Structure 1
């Protein structure tokens, strides 16, 4: 056991990523008196602009989008009661294969050592007991998520610290349930369908790709019940209103959201406590 406040550091790629996979643990552990530190690596400039204007379309201004998303990130952090918000402010790289991947200053093109050195400085300052980021594929192959993984693991190596390190993931059972909810939601949509015609199914290619994500349930090491904080998690996502078109979860309402998103799951990849797995607390063995 340690004689100072416990600290959780979550390293994410973009504004709004903090809410999707870790909003529950950030809210829960803040409520338990744990210091919560959020590091957001990019400015989110490749997100939607006002009115839903897309990157590359006329009127899309990455700098203006970044400024808007910074305010949304701050609002989300307030909702989750995050203790400390740090931003590295690299340029958003966009989706894999976009020209913005290679733009000057993009996170994807930044040398890993450079980003890791900056993050290591933050780790030495906050001395996190638990660090959370993505797996080596950034969960779904986004370049900025992959880069966030790379600099996080390198930063841990650069320091003398020995935090428990986790990668976000989803159980296959949860992904299956998500697919079912997508179908239910599609069937419940009013108005758009032509009378007498079946409501179109979600894109089968998207569902097939979804099914390949995550891990088998028995490979997941850590299951954290955040049901009591699902309302905060929903509100933190809603704070990113400019990206609402891309956040499917907001369309299902708080009740259904809570049913689907009340458990956050992780793969523990570094541990010096010897706490047995599966575990139900990121801080198992530390308190």
Structure 2
């Protein structure tokens, strides 16, 4: 089948169950609605996520196998909601946050030699032939070891492909610092309100009440002018919201769903990326990861 006869294919490489929804949920849903074949690669089983009652790995009540099984079921539901065409599970053990003992546990994603995991991913790429690949930057957006490893194996996998197997475009996920600043402000306000409620007095809050200081400059994301690609997902925020809600075992998602659909859509109605490889010559900034590819 020639390139012009087959549907465009998007591949998103993510570290854990729920990353697909938070980072690229809108892009996946929009692409699927537009007839693009969407392939999600999830590298780990999520076993270091929260167990019942917010228990962490190593605490009583945290069963890594049970957490992984639950998160796998949540991932399947999220993929259904986002219209993902193909889910590929690499099946490595979740490494946990940077500095956790689980980083060095046998079988953790962080301990897997990059060439080994990269060859497995390259095999998926050769089979699926993505036109566009999306993953994290070299810091994994926020320094999580599994995100960093996902970046490393994606770069190494791409380097293993022949010239005619290469995707036309490659992107890193990111977020504008203006959006991050607003989200941090919301977190700070909610933390202060919670502290006031617990203390029973109006002045119990403040910048040290349990959330980041909204006045601090955000260190995550990029300045708006450094972002190459702004994808309008305003028609798909309900699907993204529902996909995040499907990962209900993980309380980190609760902040976003607690915003409510309207505020969620206002704050997160655009997904942003940095284009790092391109064969189309399409100028940036752009509003479509498939710019230069549609109609070929």
Q: TM-score, length-normalised on structure 1?
A: 0.94
Shift of 1:209: 8.0
Shift of 1:37: 0.5
In structure 2, the CA distance between the partners of 1:208 and 1:159, relative to structure 1 (3 Å rule), is: farther
In structure 2, the CA distance between the partners of 1:107 and 1:50, relative to structure 1 (3 Å rule), is: same
Name the structure 1 match of 2:187.
182
Q: How does 1:95-106 map to 2 (within 5 A)?
A: 95-106=97-108
Q: Could you tell me whether the CA contact under 8 Å between 2:193 and 2:205 is conserved in 1?
A: no
In structure 2, the CA distance between the partners of 1:180 and 1:126, relative to structure 1 (3 Å rule), is: same
Q: Could you tell me whether the CA contact under 8 Å between 1:167 and 1:269 is conserved in 2?
A: yes
Name the structure 1 match of 2:238.
231
Name the structure 2 match of 1:196.
202
Name the structure 2 match of 1:29.
31
Q: How does 1:110-125 map to 2 (within 5 A)?
A: 110-125=112-127
Q: How does 1:34-183 map to 2 (within 5 A)?
A: 34-160=36-162, 161-163=165-167, 164-183=169-188
In 2, Cα distance between equivalents of 1:84 and 1:208? 42
Q: Could you tell me whether the CA contact under 8 Å between 1:185 and 1:252 is conserved in 2?
A: no
Q: Could you tell me whether the CA contact under 8 Å between 2:184 and 2:212 is conserved in 1?
A: no
Q: Give the aligned length.
A: 287
In structure 2, the CA distance between the partners of 1:205 and 1:180, relative to structure 1 (3 Å rule), is: closer
Name the structure 2 match of 1:282.
289
In 1, Cα distance between equivalents of 2:87 and 2:133? 14
Q: Mean alpha-carbon deviation: is it higher for 152-161 or for 133-142?
A: 152-161
Question: Tell me, which stretches of 5 or more residues in structure 2 are unaligned?
Answer: none
User: Which of 218, 221, 228 is matched with 1:214 structurally?
Assistant: 221
Question: Tell me, which stretches of 5 or more residues in structure 1 are unaligned?
Answer: none
In 1, Cα distance between equivalents of 2:48 and 2:216? 23
> 1:236 aligns to what SS in structure 2?
helix
Name the structure 2 match of 1:273.
280
In 2, Cα distance between equivalents of 1:111 and 1:120? 14
In 2, Cα distance between equivalents of 1:191 and 1:47? 28
Q: Could you tell me whether the CA contact under 8 Å between 1:26 and 1:82 is conserved in 2?
A: yes
Alpha-carbon RMSD across the aligned residues, in angstroms, is: 1.9
In structure 2, the CA distance between the partners of 1:209 and 1:146, relative to structure 1 (3 Å rule), is: farther
In 1, Cα distance between equivalents of 2:127 and 2:291? 23
